[in-house]
Structure 1
Amino acid sequence: MDPKILIFMLLVCCSSVFNVGAQSYQGKWKLLKRSIGVSAMHMALLPNEKIVTFDRSEFGPSNITLPQGKCIKEDSKSSDCYAHSVEFDPATRAVRPLTILSDTWCSSGAFSIDGTLVQSGGYRLGEKVVRYFKPCMDCDWEEDQNGLLSPRWYASNQVLPDGKIIVVGGRYQFTYEFIPKLSGSDRILYKLPFLKETRYSALVPNNLYPFLHLSTDGNLFVFANDRGILLDYINNKVIRSYPVMPGGISRNYPSTGSSVLLPLKLFSTTDSDNNTSTPDAEVLICGGTAPDSNEKANVGVFVPASKSCGRLIITAASPEWEMEEMPINRVMGDMIMLPTGDVLIINGAAKGAAGWGVARDPVLNPVLYRPDARNSDGSTRFEVLAPSLIPRLYHSTAHLLSDGRVLVGGSNPNINYNFSALYPTELSLEAFYPPYFTKKKPRPSIVAVNPGLKIGYKQKISLEFTLEGSVILSDLFVTMVAPSFTTHSIAMNQRLLVLAFNNEVKKTSSGNYLVEGYAPETAALAPPGYYQLFLVHEAIPSKGKWIQIKQF
């Protein structure tokens, strides 16, 4: 019997432990591509619906070659003809090899206002490089070899209200800076002692890939290890320190947990009464493991990962952590915001830490977290979903697609490509279909966005849509999702807004439905750039429409 089939049968038999399949549709998995040629360590969805993914250029030969004439000269006698980055089309499943010159291992990224992927840092000769990939037909990587002031390996990025990108931290880098370098202030390196203070020890910098979230006041929430601050990055001043997250668990690499900014619910407005109140910003952090788990795993002791999650309203007058427990222990889990505002927790392991060969017990079941679902009796917000057949451990990724599926790829907890290891290198891509793909309810479809797909702040907008059957107004809302750059269990720049729409649905002359509302009011709520726009009815999202928001 095929080992994967046997694993699946065991999971189905044992799924009652997690209540899988007992009450509702638990989603499904579909293999999209057995091999894209590279292991998807880093992943981003462009506004043209193409996925760009890459690993590291020093892995050695990949399973896909560059086109003729594109080989990279290593010296006068040798060249590298293997691709380490590809473009994947989810619609056709076509793969196009891309040329990347510098080492992108454990790097970071975000998007510019025009939809260009801006990718920064990496290892050795790639540690100060800034790379650009534009969403066009035959585009390839462009690289600025001196785009950063400081080496950035395991750093994090966030788009800011002015469209610039802040790059924070990195291995032994207790600073931040801005890209691209357009002004004098962008050419200054800013110290951030918080990153040095939150290390487990000087030799074990277990606060790498810090979590970054832009608060609704325009300041930056930075979380490292077990605590966070609010940073005024313009004046280089920490304006707020938050309580330590309870439990004694480390949340950042290599004790890798994950984090999201929960949906920003914009207030209802009308033409005559434009409510300018700013919503609270609330952060959710889940998973991770003990501070010394990586050290122990290196000598063969695999510590159970944490089940704990914490919510913190970072804009509250006196913020305190609200703690919960996931149904499954998890380290290296990706947290992906779904168009409905729910959070999908996917990938990872139940024991060990992030790194080469230091995790055990792959967690194959995703978990759905519904932020507003807790009942008065304290019942859980979590639901365990259908399992995959493929372990996704260190160097795996996940990303929301515009059709509502979640693309999952990567996993290579080995020094090089190794297809016979305990957990082999994975070159496959698969899609997870969340529970809203149930056939029991019709799916809405956006027909048009008026006045168009380029939208200004505070602008009145309307969505024309179709739906089989009648509209339940109380179960209708519109969300706007920022495209993220995902790697190492972080979806950088991930952001979801519930837009302010009037409590009325109209019928058009063509028989379609129409709802009206407003774009976000400020760039602190929605930094300029591209977003996926979804209409959600009875917890079923439409396919997303790409829009661009900025000051026109």
Structure 2
Amino acid sequence: MERKNSVCLLIAICCFSNLALGSQDLEGKWKLLKRSIGVSAMHMALLPNDRIIAFDRSHFGPSNITLPQGKCIKGVELETSDCYAHAVEFDPITRKVRPLTIQTDTWCSSGALLANGVLVQTGGYRLGERVVRYLKPCSDCDWEEDHQNGLISPRWYASNQILPNGKIIVVGGRFQFTYEFIPRTSDSDRKILYQLPFLKETMHSPKIPNNLYPFLHLSTDGNLFIFANDRAILLDYVNNRVMKNYPVMPGGISRNYPSTGSSVLLPVNLSSINVHINNNNKPVVHSQVLICGGTLPDSNENAAEAQIFLPAAKSCGRLTITAQNPKWEMEEMPLNRVMGDMILLPTGDVLIINGAAKGTAGWGAAREPVLNPVIYCPKINRFRILSPSLIPRLYHSTAHLLSDGRVLVGGSNPNVNYNFSALFPTELSLQAFYPPYFNLMSNRSRPSISTVKPGAFLKLKYTENFSLGFKLRSGDLGEIFVTMVAPSFTTHSFAMNQRLLVLELHGAVQKSNTAGDYIVQCSAPPTAALAPPGYCQLFLVNDGVPSKAVWVQIK
């Protein structure tokens, strides 16, 4: 059955929203996976073995899960031994929980996956603020902490982004107007701290900065987009040079911690029809950033000092960061939201989930939990309200896309310690949210990826052409597209390193000799600026219904 490339790719980021937007069948659903994993999931990451790593901070006091016998911690920060775990590994399929050992404080830290699939976690609080931690994706691995070759500068509330060369850039932090690189493989990595005055310029005030956890997105031209408070720059991090100052985002709303909106790089379409020529006669794939929610600059101060909880913002701004003269296109969500998580779905839609309608991030600083997620379709600029959760997810909540297409939701602890009788108690539970495409599976066949060729050991090279084999029930073939999703490190409403590419397809979908089997020809991303080296989830979408992902490694 022939499907022209242009048609497939047009649908690629149009989502399934044209399939009866007004229907009640597209509301999504919730399921409680685990009543308690023992810790509150302030930070969350997915490893290539499909295990979720969740952790909070080590000086919260006792958690609800203990370390194995003999693994109690007696560090220089502790007066007595700590036998409680503050990090866990969770298997979303079996729902088993494995306690992990962290020696130093990870409160409000950052992270990313290296190209080899190892989780790198950076900074934190007190004696953890310069530590770099590593966790390999294996069944019995535990955290390894590097104190000697850690960060140059203390990083608390910093952000990370993996780069085309496989290194990770670590940007900002409280009173840190600099950036640096890890892992340290050269003398300059070990010694040089790069100044970034933009971070000082965007502070609302030293007390309420509104520019912590800056939003970082690797542009398709290889430079780094950095957004803080209500402004953004494009940084050439190799030469420490600001390439572009973007217009101030309209509306007077602060978007970063503690005003805490959220941000995504919208799906990057790798079709040849989406390649443009810039002023230097070089081809460029356009990329757009979407930033939603947040609140007024003084909202945190009002909540902390006067118990006045100002309304969160409804506004979203969309910016083509690769345009010659970019301008913000402003839109409105159907619900006010601060501390919302924005998660890219395999269909190319954006899920906005968690958060509050009033107040800000911070201890006890928010009211009116927003229980309804919202889905946004970039192609038609349209929002839709989805089914509500029964569990409020406020400060220190998280969300992450799983390989089966569900979104894992956890965390929420707006209290100084674990407190189960507060107005908004500490949450140790994990839920799965089933986006609306699960409703479509009752009358549409869910594709199943069967082969990736050549892809030996599921490894792909840049520019490589490969065939993707998939299975469907006979007669259910519709519009096909393929997406590649880079997994994120999620904390404080920002999914660091999250990225979705719509791959270029070649020719028609071919029918295999085996009943229900099809083959589609694809191209791997052409450059590391489009897809930094590492592991990605590969999805095939048929008429708005995504397959389960297979993990591929591109390098």
Name the TM tier (shorter chain).
Answer: over 0.9
Question: How many pairs were matched up?
Answer: 519
- Which aligned pairs between 1:360-509 and structure 2 lie closer than 5 A? 360-374=367-381, 381-438=382-439, 439-452=442-455, 453-470=458-475, 472=477, 475-509=479-513
Distance in 2 (CA, whole Å) between partners of 1:309 and 1:436 is 24
1:193 alignment partner, one of 181, 191, 197: 197
Deviation for aligned residue 1:205: 1.5
Confirm or deny that 1:212 pairs with 2:219: no
Question: 1:175 matched to which residue of 2?
Answer: 178
Deviation for aligned residue 1:22: 5.6
Contact 2:445 / 2:476 at 8 angstroms: preserved in 1? Answer: no
Distance in 2 (CA, whole Å) between partners of 1:277 and 1:517 is 20
Distance in 1 (CA, whole Å) between partners of 2:507 and 2:259 is 45
Contact 1:172 / 1:205 at 8 angstroms: preserved in 2? Answer: no
Distance in 2 (CA, whole Å) between partners of 1:185 and 1:278 is 30
Distance in 1 (CA, whole Å) between partners of 2:503 and 2:74 is 50
Deviation for aligned residue 1:472: 4.7
Distance in 1 (CA, whole Å) between partners of 2:537 and 2:484 is 6
Q: Secondary structure at the match of 1:86?
A: strand
Question: 2:541 matched to which residue of 1?
Answer: 536
Deviation for aligned residue 1:268: 4.5
Distance in 1 (CA, whole Å) between partners of 2:284 and 2:545 is 27
Deviation for aligned residue 1:502: 1.4
Distance in 2 (CA, whole Å) between partners of 1:331 and 1:51 is 25
Distance in 1 (CA, whole Å) between partners of 2:504 and 2:466 is 10
Question: 1:288 matched to which residue of 2?
Answer: 294
- Once the two structures are superposed, residues 97-121 of structure 1 have per-residue CA deviations (whole angstroms, 9 ceiling, x without a partner) of 0000000000000010100000000
Confirm or deny that 1:232 pairs with 2:226: no
Question: 2:553 matched to which residue of 1?
Answer: 548
- CA 1:116–1:385: 2 relative to 1, 3 Å: same
Question: 1:341 matched to which residue of 2?
Answer: 348
Distance in 2 (CA, whole Å) between partners of 1:25 and 1:334 is 20
Distance in 1 (CA, whole Å) between partners of 2:507 and 2:422 is 56
- CA 1:77–1:109: 2 relative to 1, 3 Å: closer
Question: 2:16 matched to which residue of 1?
Answer: none
Distance in 2 (CA, whole Å) between partners of 1:245 and 1:440 is 43
1:480 maps to a residue whose letter is M
List 4+ stretches of structure 1 deviating above 6 A: none
- CA 1:300–1:21: 2 relative to 1, 3 Å: farther
Confirm or deny that 1:262 pairs with 2:263: no
1:287 maps to a residue whose letter is G
- Once the two structures are superposed, residues 419-472 of structure 1 have per-residue CA deviations (whole angstroms, 9 ceiling, x without a partner) of 000000000000000000012211111011111210000001110001123355
Contact 1:506 / 1:515 at 8 angstroms: preserved in 2? Answer: yes
Distance in 1 (CA, whole Å) between partners of 2:90 and 2:495 is 19
Question: 2:303 matched to which residue of 1?
Answer: 297
Question: 1:322 matched to which residue of 2?
Answer: 329
Distance in 2 (CA, whole Å) between partners of 1:542 and 1:277 is 32
Distance in 1 (CA, whole Å) between partners of 2:495 and 2:188 is 27
Contact 1:231 / 1:238 at 8 angstroms: preserved in 2? Answer: yes
- Once the two structures are superposed, residues 474-503 of structure 1 have per-residue CA deviations (whole angstroms, 9 ceiling, x without a partner) of x21000000100000000000000000113
- Once the two structures are superposed, residues 6-59 of structure 1 have per-residue CA deviations (whole angstroms, 9 ceiling, x without a partner) of xxxxxxxxxxxxx99864320000000000000000000000010011000000
Q: Which runs of 5+ in 1 are unaligned?
A: 1-18, 270-275, 375-380
Deviation for aligned residue 1:528: 0.2
1:460 maps to a residue whose letter is N
Distance in 2 (CA, whole Å) between partners of 1:108 and 1:180 is 14
Q: Secondary structure at the match of 1:72?
A: coil
Question: 1:15 matched to which residue of 2?
Answer: none
Question: 1:53 matched to which residue of 2?
Answer: 54
Distance in 2 (CA, whole Å) between partners of 1:268 and 1:422 is 53
1:212 maps to a residue whose letter is L
Question: 2:317 matched to which residue of 1?
Answer: 310
Contact 1:267 / 1:277 at 8 angstroms: preserved in 2? Answer: no
Q: Secondary structure at the match of 2:45?
A: strand
Distance in 2 (CA, whole Å) between partners of 1:477 and 1:56 is 41
Question: 2:276 matched to which residue of 1?
Answer: none
Confirm or deny that 1:166 pairs with 2:169: yes
- Once the two structures are superposed, residues 293-329 of structure 1 have per-residue CA deviations (whole angstroms, 9 ceiling, x without a partner) of 0000111100000000000000001100000000000
Q: Secondary structure at the match of 1:80?
A: coil
Distance in 1 (CA, whole Å) between partners of 2:234 and 2:74 is 45
Deviation for aligned residue 1:277: 4.2
- CA 1:390–1:339: 2 relative to 1, 3 Å: same
Contact 1:21 / 1:385 at 8 angstroms: preserved in 2? Answer: no
Question: 2:94 matched to which residue of 1?
Answer: 92
Q: Secondary structure at the match of 2:189?
A: helix
TM-score (norm 2): 0.92
Higher relative contact order (CA 8 A, sep 6+): 2
Contact 2:342 / 2:495 at 8 angstroms: preserved in 1? Answer: yes
Deviation for aligned residue 1:517: 1.6
- Once the two structures are superposed, residues 196-220 of structure 1 have per-residue CA deviations (whole angstroms, 9 ceiling, x without a partner) of 0001123321100000000011000
Distance in 2 (CA, whole Å) between partners of 1:356 and 1:518 is 48
Q: Secondary structure at the match of 2:26?
A: coil
Q: Which runs of 5+ in 2 are unaligned?
A: 1-19, 274-281
Distance in 1 (CA, whole Å) between partners of 2:22 and 2:415 is 34
Deviation for aligned residue 1:509: 2.4
Contact 1:20 / 1:386 at 8 angstroms: preserved in 2? Answer: no
Distance in 2 (CA, whole Å) between partners of 1:387 and 1:524 is 38
Deviation for aligned residue 1:256: 0.3
1:362 maps to a residue whose letter is P
